[in-house]
């Protein structure tokens, strides 16, 4: 018999949309089960630098909502969990959930990261889109919630150094997956999006050009919490002379970094450039860019202004002049 948890609502996804839905429902007195497949809530938003057009800090927007959801008396938060199935249950639903093993006792772990410093294995960090590294045992990122470690068991060599370093005795290699059910009246799906892999498009070189990066990688370059604090060329770790976002680009110069855009979302835009994202990236990245890129960004803004003038302002002026002429004739 599986353990069953009861709630009014199940929110699937601990990104910004799921967090806001969770807090809104919980503030109204509903019991909410918040479920996230990653080891921390925060989603894509917590990995971003600043949001266009106001350039508000993404951490400043996201972390209060993470804390509000995690500590709300009406919220039961489940991280590192996958939904196996959802079935109708009378007027509501029952979700079958698997909690993946962290190999760390969550109630004992204090998030001190001593295990991480002791671990000899270093792996590409998924939170930094492979631009940085973490140990085989790691806390997902500096503002992760919960601030608890987990072990990448596929890459662990079982040297035992983390066990020795952990004064809380929280490392537990005997942990196994746990299954349980969540019975709810309603479900909010806030599962977010995935970007197209940066090496998946032939027009961007299918991964042959190391300096072609996707939008989320640029965000990690620009974010204060990013691995370097600067935009650096993946090919040689140097600052690029220029940064470009281009559809149908030519083979990139080795001194250049190219941000892919358009076709960036698996769900949504497909192969069509949304224009706005690119302007946003360029503008929010201006302090990091060279003169050529600033001129490029200014050209886009000027172009957009001229288009808006021709489409909206100019027709109004012509119409007003015609009305004045008609009035004068009358
Ligand atoms: S597992 Fe132990 S050493 Fe690692 S973060 Fe948790 S308490 Fe600290
Ligand atoms: S046992 Fe595994 S996780 Fe722990 S320190 Fe060794 S390699 Fe790292």
Among 162-166, 193-197, 323-327, top mean pLDDT goes to 162-166
Q: Whose CA is nearest to atom 2 of ligand 2?
A: 156
User: Residues 107-165: pLDDT tens digits?
Assistant: 999 999 999 999 999 999 999 988 899 999 999 999 999 999 999 999 999 999 999 99
pLDDT greater at residue 267 or residue 221: 221
Contact 19, 40 (CB under 8 A): no
The beta strand positions in the chain, using DSSP E, are: 3-6, 9-12, 32-35, 50-51, 56-57, 75-78, 81-89, 92-99, 122-124, 133-135, 137-138, 150-151, 178-184, 186-189, 212-213, 242-244, 256-259
pLDDT greater at residue 255 or residue 111: 111
Q: Whose CA is nearest to atom 8 of ligand 2?
A: 119
Q: Is the CB of residue 57 below 6 angstroms from any atom belonging to ligand 1?
A: no
- H/E run at residue 65: helix 58-71
- Residue 27's Cα: distance from chain center in Å? 25
Q: Whose CA is nearest to atom 5 of ligand 2?
A: 119
Contact 211, 233 (CB under 8 A): yes
In the DSSP assignment, the letter for residue 48 is -
In the chain, ranges of CATH 3.50.50.60 domains: 3-99+177-189
Ligand located closest to 135 CA: 2
Centre of ligand 1 from the C-alpha of residue 226, in Å: 23
In the chain, ranges of CATH 3.30.70.20 domains: 101-174
| One-character DSSP codes across 1-35 | --EEEE-SEEEE--SHHHHHHHHHHHHTT--EEEE
φ, ψ of residue 175 to 5 degrees: the values are -60, 145
Atom of ligand 2 nearest to the CA of 152: 3
Q: Residue 196's pLDDT is what?
A: 78
| Domain at 3-99+177-189: CATH code | 3.50.50.60
Q: Which of 86, 67, 46 is nearest to 188 (CA)?
A: 86
Quick one: average pLDDT of 293-315? Answer: 62
Q: Residue 55's pLDDT is what?
A: 84
Q: Residue 188's pLDDT is what?
A: 97
Weakest-pLDDT range from 55-64, 201-210, 286-295, 314-323: 286-295
Q: Residue 298's pLDDT is what?
A: 54
Residue 81 pLDDT more than 80? yes
pLDDT greater at residue 49 or residue 279: 49
Q: Is the CB of residue 110 below 6 angstroms from any atom belonging to ligand 1?
A: yes
Cβ < 6 Å from ligand 2: which residues?
Answer: 118-119, 121, 135-137, 151, 156-162
Rounded CA gap, 301 and 125, in Å? 35
- Residue 152's Cα: distance from chain center in Å? 20
Q: What is the mean pLDDT of the chain?
A: 83
Residue 252: pLDDT band with limits 50, 70, 90? very low
- Evaluate if pTM is beyond 0.85: no
**Which pairing describes strands 92-99 and 178-184: parallel, antiparallel, or unpaired?**
antiparallel
Residue 200: pLDDT band with limits 50, 70, 90? confident
Centre of ligand 2 from the C-alpha of residue 281, in Å: 38
CATH T-level fold of 101-174? Alpha-Beta Plaits (3.30.70)
Q: Whose CA is nearest to atom 1 of ligand 2?
A: 158
Ligand located closest to 119 CA: 2
Q: Residue 194's pLDDT is what?
A: 85
pLDDT greater at residue 167 or residue 310: 167
User: Residues 173-184: pLDDT tens digits?
Assistant: 999 999 999 999
The residue to mutate among 108, 112, 119, having the most atoms of ligand 1 within 8 angstroms of its beta carbon, is 112
The residue to mutate among 136, 166, 171, 172, having the most atoms of ligand 1 within 8 angstroms of its beta carbon, is 166
Quick one: average pLDDT of 231-246? Answer: 78
User: Residues 256-279: pLDDT tens digits?
Assistant: 555 554 333 332 233 444 455 555
Q: How many other CB atoms are found less than 10 A from the CB of residue 297?
A: 21
Rounded CA gap, 111 and 281, in Å? 33
């Amino acid at each position: 018999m599986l353990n069953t948890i009861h709630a009014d609502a199940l929110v699937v996804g601990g990104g910004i949309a799921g967090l806001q839905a969770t807090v809104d429902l919980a503030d109204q007195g509903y019991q909410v089960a918040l479920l996230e497949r990653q080891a921390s809530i925060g989603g894509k938003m917590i990995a971003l630098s600043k949001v266009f057009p106001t350039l508000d800090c993404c951490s400043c927007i996201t972390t209060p909502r993470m804390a509000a959801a995690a500590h709300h008396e009406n919220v039961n938060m489940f991280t590192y969990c996958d939904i196996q199935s959802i079935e109708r249950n009378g007027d509501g639903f029952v979700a079958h959930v698997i909690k993946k093993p962290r190999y760390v006792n969550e109630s004992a772990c204090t998030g001190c990261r001593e295990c991480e410093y002791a671990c000899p294995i270093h792996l590409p960090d998924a939170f930094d889109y492979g631009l940085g590294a973490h140990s085989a045992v790691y806390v997902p990122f500096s503002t992760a919630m919960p601030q608890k470690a987990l072990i990448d068991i596929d890459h662990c060599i079982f040297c035992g150094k983390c066990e020795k370093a952990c004064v809380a005795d929280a490392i537990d290699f005997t942990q196994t997956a746990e299954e349980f059910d969540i019975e709810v009246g309603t479900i909010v799906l806030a599962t977010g999006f995935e970007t197209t892999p940066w090496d998946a498009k032939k027009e961007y070189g299918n991964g042959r050009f190391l300096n072609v990066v996707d939008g989320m990688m640029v965000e990690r370059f620009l974010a204060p919490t990013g691995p370097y604090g600067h935009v650096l060329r993946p090919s040689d770790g140097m600052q690029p002379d220029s940064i470009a976002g281009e559809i149908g680009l030519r083979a990139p110069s080795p001194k250049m970094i190219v941000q892919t855009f358009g076709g960036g979302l698996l769900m949504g835009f497909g192969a069509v450039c949304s224009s706005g994202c690119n302007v946003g990236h360029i503008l929010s990245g201006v302090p990091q860019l060279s003169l050529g890129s600033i001129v490029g960004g200014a050209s886009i803004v000027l172009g957009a202004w001229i288009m808006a003038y021709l489409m909206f302002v100019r027709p109004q002026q012509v119409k007003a002049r015609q009305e004045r002429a008609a009035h004068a004739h009358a």
